């Protein structure tokens, strides 16, 4: 029982039952009070209907100041008792009594119960006798300064009132019991959507399937709002779990890629350093060759680490810092750096004079441009021409890089964006990661990277980015 009351269903049923019980109690109390008032009003009306003159005459009045003889015993008849206004006991209401009071004593008393206090003035009063029974009396003025009191026992009226009260209590108790059962049943029906919601949430907990969403179709407004909040929470948890898994996968891929790609330059670097250590008397030209080779391998390892780190951070893109970036200034700086690395090429940049703002990860955007330019320098003609162009196209930022090299075959245009993939004519230069960085960063910034034939005879790489 206590466990049931702790449930929402039990609490709803209990509150509904208490509410109905209070209403029934108020209605019953009002009904009993109204019935009691009507009973007393009827009694008062019956007492007031008795004529003072007729009663005085029936009792032998009008009275003088001399006290009459002692009254007969209770129930006995007095002079002129046959008068219809007074009549014998069997003709009067049951429990009625009559008293004539002069001063502080009753000079006439007919059927008066023991222990009733004498009236001290006129009007209606409720009195109690020596046995505790209630009586209703009406005292009025009689001739020669006497008081005429007519009273009636209220036991019958009180029994009728008590009978009504008991019937109402019985009916109210039955009604409360019925309401309690109905409230329990109806609360179960009303809370059925919550049980379904709890079952669905339990399924999510047991299966850990954060992609599941709770159904809100046909549910009450409150349940729909709760289900919507739970679905929003599941969406956030799913996104968070996906971001965490992406970060873990990026870490695993970084470790695997780094171990795979760094093995070759580190092996060459170790071989060169070992040769120098074992042959301390090498000729100066041979020693210079080994040192230059070691430096190249160290630089290659550094570039690989930088590219792999960029890819790893891009794989966990949700955690990247984003800010407003002037893409024109970023492209100009990247072209200047590429011109310094490859001074034999002819570099050209076309960009609008105004700023081209984009919200994104500055390091990733710079890596995108650097790798495009580096790819064009490596795979274009020696001392050839490289043209970069930056513009807007219906709210989209477009960056194109053209070279005058052999271009990219149609069958390879998707494969070259994969990690560690190289085109057929790429040779051994590069790691096969640069264009993977380009496409990854383009997609992280709401765009895409494509390759086609360019106007200079080589490849055209086109990057389309969303500024927002």
- What pLDDT sits at residue 348? 93
294 within 8 A of 269, measured Cβ to Cβ: yes
* pLDDT per position as a tens digit, 199-228: 777 777 777 777 776 666 666 666 677 777
Question: May I ask the CATH class of domain 54-155?
Answer: alpha beta
pLDDT at residue 104 above 50?
yes
Residue 90 confidence (pLDDT): 46
Euclidean distance between CA atoms 238 and 215, whole angstroms: 17
Q: CA–CA distance from 153 to each of 47, 127, 157, 224 (Å)?
A: 12, 9, 8, 66
Q: How confident is the model at residue 402 (pLDDT cuts 50, 70, 90)?
A: very high
User: pLDDT tens digit string along 317-330?
Assistant: 556 778 899 999 99
Q: Is the pLDDT of residue 389 over 90?
A: yes
Question: What are the structural domain ranges in the chain?
Answer: 54-155, 208-253, 321-468
58-62, 310-314, 332-336: range with lowest mean pLDDT = 310-314
Q: What is the pLDDT at residue 50? A: 82
CATH 3.30.565.10 for domain 321-468? yes
Tell me how far apart the alpha carbons of residues 242 and 235 are, in angstroms, rounded to a whole number. 10
Q: How confident is the model at residue 404 (pLDDT cuts 50, 70, 90)?
A: very high
Coil, helix or strand at residue 452: strand
Helix/strand/coil percent split, the chain, to 5: 55, 15, 30
pLDDT value at 66 more than 60 = no
pLDDT at 108 over 90: no
Range with the largest mean pLDDT of 119-128, 269-278, 283-292, 418-427: 119-128
Residue 167 in this model has a pLDDT that exceeds 80:
yes
Distance, in Å, from the CA atom of 315 to the CA atom of 308, rounded to the nearest integer, reads 10
| DSSP letter, residue 462 | E
What are the pLDDT digits (tens) for 439-456? 988 988 889 999 999 999
Listed in order, strand segments (DSSP E) in 368-444 are 385-393, 396-403
Which range scores top for mean pLDDT: 195-209, 289-303, 417-431? 289-303
253-290 confidence digits (pLDDT tens): 666 666 655 666 777 778 888 888 888 788 888 888 88
pLDDT for the residue 166: 93
The HSE-up count of residue 387 (CA atoms within 13 Å, CB side) is: 11
Tell which wins on pLDDT, 112 or 268: 112
Q: What is the pLDDT of residue 201?
A: 72
Same fold, 54-155 and 321-468: no
- Residue 76's pLDDT band, with cuts at 50, 70 and 90, is very low
Average model confidence (pLDDT) for the chain? 80
Find the distance separating the first CA and the last CA of the chain, reported in whole Å: 60
| 87-96, 101-110, 194-203, 377-386: range with lowest mean pLDDT | 87-96
Decide if pLDDT at 45 tops 50. Answer: yes
Provide the pLDDT for residue 430.
Answer: 55
């Amino acid at each position: 029982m206590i466990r049931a009351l702790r449930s929402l269903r039990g609490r709803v049923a209990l509150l509904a039952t208490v509410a109905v019980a209070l209403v029934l109690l108020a209605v019953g109390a009002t009904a009993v009070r109204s019935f009691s008032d009507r009973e007393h009003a009827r009694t008062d009306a019956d007492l007031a209907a008795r004529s003072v003159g007729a009663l005085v005459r029936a009792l032998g009045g009008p009275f003088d100041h001399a006290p009459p003889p002692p009254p007969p015993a209770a129930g006995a008849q007095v002079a002129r008792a046959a008068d219809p206004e007074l009549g014998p006991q069997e003709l009067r209401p049951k429990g009625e009594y009559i008293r004539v009071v002069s001063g502080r004593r009753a000079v006439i008393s007919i059927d008066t119960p023991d222990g009733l206090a004498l009236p001290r003035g006129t009007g209606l009063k409720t009195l109690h006798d020596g046995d505790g029974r209630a009586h209703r009396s009406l005292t009025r003025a009689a001739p020669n300064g006497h008081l005429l009191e007519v009273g009636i026992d209220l036991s019958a009226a009180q029994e009728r009132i008590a009978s009504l009260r008991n019937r109402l209590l019985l009916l109210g108790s039955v009604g409360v019991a019925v309401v309690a059962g109905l409230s329990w049943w109806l609360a179960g029906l009303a809370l059925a959507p919550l049980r379904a919601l709890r079952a669905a949430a339990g399924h999510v907990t047991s299966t850990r399937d954060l992609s599941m969403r709770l159904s809100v179709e046909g549910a009450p407004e409150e349940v729909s709002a709760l289900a919507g909040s739970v679905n929003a929470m599941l969406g956030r948890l799913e996104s968070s779990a996906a971001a965490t898994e992406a970060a873990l996968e990026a870490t695993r891929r970084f470790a695997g890629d780094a171990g795979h790609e760094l093995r070759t330059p580190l092996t060459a670097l170790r071989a060169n350093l070992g040769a120098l250590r074992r042959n301390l008397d090498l000729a100066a030209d041979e020693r210079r060759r080994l040192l230059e080779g070691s430096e190249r391998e160290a630089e290659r390892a550094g570039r690989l680490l930088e590219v792999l780190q960029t890819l790893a951070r891009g794989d966990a893109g949700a955690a990247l810092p984003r800010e407003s970036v002037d893409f024109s200034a970023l492209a100009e700086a990247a072209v200047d750096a590429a011109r310094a690395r490859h001074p034999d090429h002819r570099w050209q940049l076309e960009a609008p004079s105004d700023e081209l703002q984009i919200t994104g990860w500055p390091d990733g955007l710079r890596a995108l441009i650097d790798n495009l330019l580096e790819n064009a320098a490596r795979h274009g003609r020696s001392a050839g021409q490289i043209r970069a162009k930056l513009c807007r196209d219906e709210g989209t930022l477009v960056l194109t890089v053209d070279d005058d090299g052999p271009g990219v075959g149609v069958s390879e245009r998707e494969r070259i964006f994969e990690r560690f993939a190289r085109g057929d004519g790429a040779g051994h230069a590069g790691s096969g990661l640069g264009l993977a960085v380009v496409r990854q960063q383009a997609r992280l910034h709401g765009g895409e990277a494509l390759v086609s034939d360019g106007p200079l005879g080589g490849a055209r790489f086109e990057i389309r980015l969303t500024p927002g």
